[in-house]
């Protein structure tokens, strides 16, 4: 990831207007730029100093925003003090809490796909909390490991694919697809479902909270009724309340 940074100094009496213009004019353009992740404005009300920061997926995206940044800067000339012309600087983000949180989740998903549940467990905090449909509310590494073991026993070829990953601070949200063949007993709140030999494919959302490099909370959301329908043990059209 890369960052575009612009340092400016504004009239202290205009700082509120500067923030308003940044919110209304800069953020929408930044949000629409391909590869853009976020934008922020930092201000020091005692000195009038300000730093605007744009975060991008890669260096190419950060450089491509340069011409837009130049045009946007023109709109803030009327608020600036001094004669120095602000310059946009580019930086590589070597590390951050967001990058580290995303890396933890990527390791978890990779280990699950390899069915290496010991590796999954190593990424979890001792008091990790796992919640899932069907009233699943488990605390502790061993309990979470046993839940994953049951899923892999039911679907020996179980695999998850992340379609979209969103990171905000220490929270990582994954939109993905689960696939697997029902070749083992599937434990449900209604009892065990014997192997059907059917293949299932379903979307899921998983919310991870990372604390000091470990998974503190893992909240899994998927449509139970859709899965049961694919397995042939629920009528077509059934809807889940999960």
- Read off the pLDDT of residues 3-20 as tens digits, 9 standing for 90 and up: 999 999 999 999 999 999
Percent of the chain with pLDDT over 90: 83
Q: Say whether pLDDT at 157 is over 90.
A: yes
* pLDDT on residue 137: 95
Domain with CATH 3.30.70.100 in the chain: 2-92
Domain with CATH 3.10.450.50 in the chain: 97-230
Please provide the CATH number assigned to the domain covering 2-92: 3.30.70.100
**CATH 3.40.50.2300 holds for 97-230:** no
Q: What is the pTM of this model?
A: 0.75
Mean pLDDT estimate for the chain: 92
pLDDT tens across 106-116, in order? 999 999 999 99
**Average pLDDT of the residues in 142-162:** 96
Q: Say whether pLDDT at 74 is over 60.
A: yes
Ranges assigned E (strand) in the chain = 2-9, 36-43, 49-56, 88-92, 124-132, 136-139, 159-168, 171-181, 186-188, 191-193, 199-211, 214-222
* pLDDT on residue 242: 42
For residue 236, what pLDDT band results from cuts at 50, 70 and 90? low
* pLDDT on residue 107: 97
Q: Which two tokens stand for residue 69?
A: 């940044």
Percent of the chain with pLDDT over 70: 96
């Amino acid at each position: 990831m890369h960052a575009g940074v612009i340092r400016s100094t504004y009239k202290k009496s205009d700082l509120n207007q500067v923030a308003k213009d940044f919110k209304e004019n800069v953020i929408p353009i930044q949000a629409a730029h391909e590869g853009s992740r976020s934008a922020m404005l930092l201000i020091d009300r005692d000195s009038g100093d300000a730093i605007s920061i744009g975060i991008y997926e890669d260096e190419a995206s950060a450089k491509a925003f340069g011409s837009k940044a130049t045009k946007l800067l023109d709109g803030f000339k009327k608020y600036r003090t001094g004669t120095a012309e602000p310059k946009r600087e580019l930086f590589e983000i070597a590390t951050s809490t967001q990058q580290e949180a995303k890396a933890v989740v990527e390791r978890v998903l990779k280990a699950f796909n390899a069915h290496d549940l010991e590796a999954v467990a190593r990424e979890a905090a001792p008091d990790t909390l796992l919640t899932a449909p069907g009233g699943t509310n488990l605390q502790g590494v061993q309990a979470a490991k046993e839940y994953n073991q049951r899923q892999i026993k039911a679907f020996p070829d179980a695999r998850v694919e992340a379609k979209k990953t969103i990171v905000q601070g220490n929270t990582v949200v994954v939109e993905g697809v689960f696939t697997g063949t029902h070749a083992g007993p599937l434990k449900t709140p209604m009892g065990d479902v014997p192997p059907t030999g059917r293949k299932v494919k379903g979307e899921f959302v998983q919310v991870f909270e990372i604390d000091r490099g470990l998974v503190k909370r893992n909240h899994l959301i998927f449509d139970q009724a859709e899965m049961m329908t694919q397995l042939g043990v629920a009528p077509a059209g059934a809807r889940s309340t999960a």
